Chain A
């Protein structure tokens, strides 16, 4: 005896697929991915430490986090960090003077985050760089006393584990405020942005969030 089995096909998938399509429309996807990836980038900036020398912060990465936003395009989302210097930190490269004969590199905490033009008493001199042990061209000031800032780890109390800056007075003669350089090379720092894996993970979370609805 022959056997036949009738299989009835009921299209319950199409309405579900249509609904799903609505849930993951390009705009809704952008509305998920944009804020999530903006937050990812902001959190990454918040993890990045202060400057390598431990000088009082100019809040470079905090400002970058505040400047992070997202924009929707046709079929894409762009996470933007509208802050000067952020691309340079990420990609590295040579920095050369544009409107001046030399770059001025801060040599003291009090020069950090300032331009040489903000000091009225600077003179050119060759002076020893204690870090390198060699003579370097610098913009110097004659000082009888100077404020140094020292980084101190807090070991007690509510702020235990954090650091604070303590002002220490020192006596000097000629003091370099800025080193002068024809140019510098900065190595790329990929940690400025989250990794591709972190972006992929965030994207996966977005897909999950949309499909869960």
Chain B
């Protein structure tokens, strides 16, 4: 087993995101251009730049944990005693709550413990989780689309569940609506006949899912996961063989990447 290597694309995208303090709530933030949201690091109704800076540091540390060598961790398969160090969700939450305590934050009356309380477990967990996922999702999206060889060999994606939920949202219904909105008959047929939510990387269905086609208000505006807050859904790459078998692509047909400017993921918001 080797020492960790950084998830370069995810890190680069995260580092490019500028801090955006805002008093706007989630509904109003949804009105912002999706590109600006992708290029900014923000949290609804968080005007404190230093808090956003703390969050960003934590997210960066989770996306790229540190490594140290410790004698007590030396094993036959890890003779150098490499140990991963950094935040996990619990220590991240403790750190943010401690920071808010230090700056004297008090939740508004009647809002303690809710998502509107910046120090509530729910709120801190949501901000950390969503931003880590956004970085991972953007990083994988770049890996999936930037290289023509990867696109040729793995021309499609499948929407699958990575995390169980007590009350899962109906993603098949979202898929049907999104495929009909963008006119992706193959994607709709794939679900109807095979029971799988597969579509070409170049399909507009991915952006439609992220835009909440059908009127869903929990989405994040991106053509990559997490398509919605706390959804537990993610994408997996589908090989050319499978994509051809599923009827997404004719034999030997040229595959295209997502029609999306990957460079914009590394730009600063205007």
Q: Which residues of A contact B (CB under 8 A)?
A: 27-28, 31-32, 34-36, 38-39, 42-43, 45-46, 50, 57-59, 62-63, 65-67, 69-71, 78, 80, 82-88, 90-94, 96, 113-115, 117-118, 162, 164-165, 188, 205, 209, 212
Contact = CB atoms under 8 A, between A and B. Distances in A.
B259 interface: no
B77 A39 contact: no
B239 A36 contact: yes
Contact of A27 (B72, B144, B149, B236): B149
Interface stretch (B48-56, B103-111, B161-169): B161-169
Nearest to A73: B5
B167 to A, nearest CB: 9
Contacts of A67: 7, 63, 136
A27 B236 CA distance: 21
B234 A118 contact: no
A87 B143 contact: no
Interface of B: 1-2, 4-10, 62-65, 72-73, 75, 77-78, 82-91, 93-94, 97-98, 121, 132-133, 136-137, 139-140, 143-144, 147, 149-150, 152-154, 160-164, 166, 225, 232, 234, 236-237, 239-241
Contacts of A93: 73, 75, 78
A82 B4 contact: yes
A207 to B, nearest CB: 12
B256 to A, nearest CB: 16
A162 B167 CA distance: 12
A31 B151 CA distance: 9
Given A35-B237, A69-B9, A62 B91 contact: no
Given A34-B150, A69-B140, A94-B72, A113 B133 contact: no
Nearest to A72: B147
Contact of A62 (B85, B140, B162): B162
Given A69-B140, A84-B85, A118-B94, A57 B164 contact: yes
Interface centre among B73, B132, B133, B153 (most CB of A within 10 A): B153
A92 B137 CA distance: 29
Given A35-B143, A96-B72, 8 more contacts: A35-B237, A43-B236, A70-B143, A83-B65, A90-B1, A93-B73, A117-B94, A209-B153
A62 B150 CA distance: 24
Contacts of A117: 94, 98
Nearest to B164: A57
B120 to A, nearest CB: 12
Nearest to A38: B237
B162 A39 contact: no
Nearest to A212: B241
12 contacts: A32-B149, A34-B150, A46-B162, A57-B164, A63-B132, A65-B234, A80-B4, A85-B84, A91-B77, A92-B75, A96-B72, A114-B90
Contacts of B163: 57, 59, 62-63
Contacts of A34: 143, 150
Given A35-B150, A36-B239, A84-B84, A69 B166 contact: no
A164 to B, nearest CB: 6
B198 to A, nearest CB: 13
Given A38-B237, A82-B65, A69 B162 contact: no
Nearest to B158: A39
A117 to B, nearest CB: 5
B143 A31 contact: no
A100 B144 CA distance: 43
A69 B155 CA distance: 17
A87 B84 contact: yes
A45 B32 CA distance: 36
Contacts of A118: 90, 93-94, 97, 121
